[in-house]
Structure 1
Amino acid sequence: MGGGPISSSSASTVVPSSEAQPHTTPPSPFSLPDYLSSLPPPVFGRSLRQYWNFSSNYVNLNHGSYGSVPLPVLKAMRERSDRIEENPDRFIVLEAAKELALVRERLAGLVNAPVDEVVVAPNATHAINTVLWNIKWQPGDIILLFTTQYGAIFNTAAHIADVNPGVTLLEIPLIFPTTHAEIVQLVKDTVAKVKKDEEKTGKKIKLSVVEAISSIPGVVMPWREICTFYKQEGILSVVDGAHELGQLPVDLGTADCDFWAGNAHKWLMSHRGGTLFFVPKRNQHLILSSFPTSAFYYSKNYPKYARTKEWTFVEQFDWTGTIDFSPFLSISPAMDFRDWLGGEQAITIYCHDLALKGGARMAELLGTGIMDNKKGELTANMVNVYFPDNFPHVESQGGIINGLLFEHNFRVGAGFHDGRWFARCSAQVFCDITDFEHGAKVIQEISNSLQKRAEEETTDSA
């Protein structure tokens, strides 16, 4: 049996602005290099690449997939890791839970949530699995999803349905571009139809997973309005905020969601992985176990291990087995680094503006367009630009596209939606308009190459 801690403790739409408002935070368990404090806030753009470890000719418009750790954050994390190794037992037994509590306190302050409603999980998929596997499912329960759902989350729901007889999935079809009002209405119509047929089918919607910002395509969803409606209908809401934390302001104190999970290692710039997992007190009785089940789980039927204090939600997540805590703890220096950059508003405003201008420029050079509506509701700091018309718009091209993008040392999130390929471009503080112009050139070269290959194959088969 593996070791564990002897004791666990816990501590207590973009709004334009010309001035950044740094987030007030408690002391960090480990901090950024001292030299940063003597430097003025930097100018956003390609000059900021000096604070990342990118190879000189690599152009990264795919920050949204796996994140990109700033060098000062990486240095702070590695230094803390080295200190942990000086006495790992002491850290695990006496310090880990306390330092993790400080991280939770910072994250809770960022999203306006009580600290005892926030824990850290490895990633959003992990956190959402925690929710779905804790729910007590009954025959007739429906899990409501969207057709744009992230693949691992759809598969988790499918697995739940596979092993719980009588549980089924229902998907709401989404075709972008559309409007937030139309999405909300689709949800309402779907719920109304299920309720109308409930007496005949014996089925009802128990839970729905809604993305704050969908993955592919990268589209802002009206999750707050949807969750408010679900609350009125008695439907549990799980928000997949994998892309929202660090990309848009998040206020969980005023939201009606039942569960929320957002990755810190994507847009918040911590080391991968680490996720803010929010469960309000009213729902903590539903999450009896972490995933995997921790040493602090309490079984009423098999109370083998005597408890000396009351069960708490947070305690379940302090220790789920031996892991490297350094990535979780890197969230603090990542937030320090963002404060040094100018704060959340300054970062969001720059990235959003670049997404709009960069996406428009790429679309202009490719002769295509952007996947958005007239109100601009769908674009945050990721913008979806259609591939050229001469591109072979066949879904099976995915592997070839990825290979060619790697050959050009350039990355976007290439996706297929409604019969067309598109580039999901992530605008970040180390990017500028020239990255989008370079991206347009690469995508056009790939399009021309694939078109030529298709023509040659047609000629050979004739």
Structure 2
Amino acid sequence: MVARREFLGALTTASILPHVLFAKTFASGAEANEENSGGLMEQILCGPQPAMPSETQFAGAPEAYWAELRKQFIFRPGFLYLNNGTMGSSPRPVLRAFIESILKEDQLESSEDTELYPLWGYGNWDEYRRPVANFVGAKLEEIALVRNATEGLNYVANGLDLARGDEVIYTDEEHGSGKSPWLEKQQRYGVMVREITLPKPPASKQQILDLFEAARTPRTRIVMASHITSATGCVLPAREICAWARAHNLLSFIDGAHAIGMIPLNLREMGCDFYVTSPHKWLLSPKGIGVLYVRDEVCDRLWNTMATGGWDDHASRAARFQQFGSSNVSVLAGLRAALDFWAAIGPQRIERRIRDLHAHVKSQVAQIPGAELVSAPGEEFTAGICTVNFPKLDRMKFQQWIYHTHRIRVRGTSATRLRLSTHIYHNTAELDRFVGILRDYLRGGAA
């Protein structure tokens, strides 16, 4: 990973994609296609790029710093995006690294070895795995770069040898991609699923641990929980859950789809056996990348469930789980650029900004008449996702209305519940604008 000073220096110069690559002479039909494409590559990535804000600016005027950083994102003026829980918007340096890698790799001379081709899905690609391992607090040999968290979730569920009657415990707030592999295994092989219902919000970590303990039986083999739940954004006590599992000789599996980029990670300290995460959400990497962590001590217990060359190469450790056939290696170049972007700003600074904006929007929506706040007070069980229920709200109708009327994009996780995600490209003024529109809508002022 490059140093912060080196990264900032590169960006403060007039960093550009070479004009010749996007000149209208590049393709004879460029003029004809311009109307359909909007000429976005020329508009966004060619020419001088906005500089990253300075450390001096952050020290003297933090809000001006974040306003300047906002220029690294390509949102159109007037648009407000509050659904980072589904996917984030990659900043300019990430987009540039991704596209430049495509151009470089398509020249098909990126390696002196004539047996090597730029295909992710074969080989270890340690130059991309290593910075990921460092970022999440893992060893290189414990990291596999997969195509999304769903793939990682399926690798673990389908790769473990479980007998008929063996039991899995998970929570009611697991994503469908987390539950479904186990439910399929239940139907096909007789593995039993036990689902616990989380309090909304929880009162304490011990309250959550007691629910897992109450569900445990002599046939329990693995416990699965989200690090940050998709439905409500609750930050679960992952470290304590893993310690409880280890104490009872159970495997622990954490779905951290929302965690990377939102909160600090140290998977070795967490003590989990398996962990998956989605960099395209809060880390703002290109789409089509997931990270699977397999603790080295349990790696040999996990079968490959997609077999191609190298599936049985146990010496490669977790890297054998990224042997899945031809995929676009340039996505990994974008992932590495996202990690460099995070290092340039500072992960702790990013986390603090996310949490502060979350606290602001949470306090504002809680004051709307009829609001039922699902997110816990304080910070112990929350980070960047605020969920609030309005029993009389038709969420889908409101979701469509506010986008088409005000160009604000939100999403919810039930028919009446909104899930609001705050990130570094937001500010309090636009969050207040959203809350005001929501308040008026609920009063009946939508017309």
Amino acid corresponding to residue 411 of structure 1 in structure 2: R
Residues 1:118 and 2:115 are matched in the alignment: no
| Farther off after superposition, 131-140 or 402-411 | 402-411
8 Å CA contact 1:23–1:110 kept in 2: the answer is no
Residues 1:129 and 2:154 are matched in the alignment: yes
Q: 1:99 to 1:209 in 2, by over 3 A?
A: closer
Q: Secondary structure, in 3 states, of the residue corresponding to 2:209?
A: helix
Cα offsets for 1:235-285 (capped at 9, x unmatched): 211100000111111111212211011111111121112122111111110
Q: Residues 101-180 of structure 1 correspond to what in structure 2 (within 5 A)? A: 101-164=126-189, 166-179=190-203, 180=205
Q: Which residue of 2 aligns with 1:337?
A: 341
8 Å CA contact 1:360–1:369 kept in 2: the answer is no
8 Å CA contact 1:296–1:315 kept in 2: the answer is no
Q: Which residue of 2 aligns with 1:76?
A: 97
Amino acid corresponding to residue 83 of structure 2 in structure 1: N
Distance in 1, matches of 2:167 and 2:107, equals 51
8 Å CA contact 1:366–1:440 kept in 2: the answer is no
8 Å CA contact 1:49–1:430 kept in 2: the answer is yes
Amino acid corresponding to residue 308 of structure 2 in structure 1: S
8 Å CA contact 2:232–2:375 kept in 1: the answer is no
Distance in 1, matches of 2:245 and 2:364, equals 39
Residues 1:426 and 2:416 are matched in the alignment: no
RMSD: 3.0
Cα offsets for 1:396-455 (capped at 9, x unmatched): x45434433432421233123xxx833221111110112222222333354356999xxx
User: Alpha-carbon deviation of 1:188?
Assistant: 1.4
User: Alpha-carbon deviation of 1:95?
Assistant: 5.6
8 Å CA contact 1:273–1:328 kept in 2: the answer is no
Matched pairs, number: 396
Q: Residues 225-304 of structure 1 correspond to what in structure 2 (within 5 A)? A: 225-289=240-304, 291-298=305-312
User: Alpha-carbon deviation of 1:216?
Assistant: 0.8
Distance in 2, matches of 1:277 and 1:157, equals 17
Q: 1:366 to 1:440 in 2, by over 3 A?
A: farther
Higher relative contact order (CA 8 A, sep 6+): 1
- Over the matched positions of the two proteins, sequence identity in percent amounts to 22
Q: Give ranges in structure 1 of 5+ residues lacking alignment.
A: 1-21, 196-203, 299-308, 453-462
Amino acid corresponding to residue 327 of structure 1 in structure 2: V
Distance in 1, matches of 2:263 and 2:238, equals 13
TM-score normalised over the length of structure 2: 0.80
Distance in 2, matches of 1:326 and 1:438, equals 38
8 Å CA contact 1:32–1:73 kept in 2: the answer is no
Q: Which residue of 2 aligns with 1:57?
A: 78
TM-score normalised over the length of structure 1: 0.78
Distance in 2, matches of 1:283 and 1:310, equals 12
Q: 1:401 to 1:129 in 2, by over 3 A?
A: farther
User: Alpha-carbon deviation of 1:140?
Assistant: 0.8
User: Alpha-carbon deviation of 1:35?
Assistant: 4.1
8 Å CA contact 1:33–1:72 kept in 2: the answer is no
Q: Give ranges in structure 2 of 5+ residues lacking alignment.
A: 16-50, 59-63
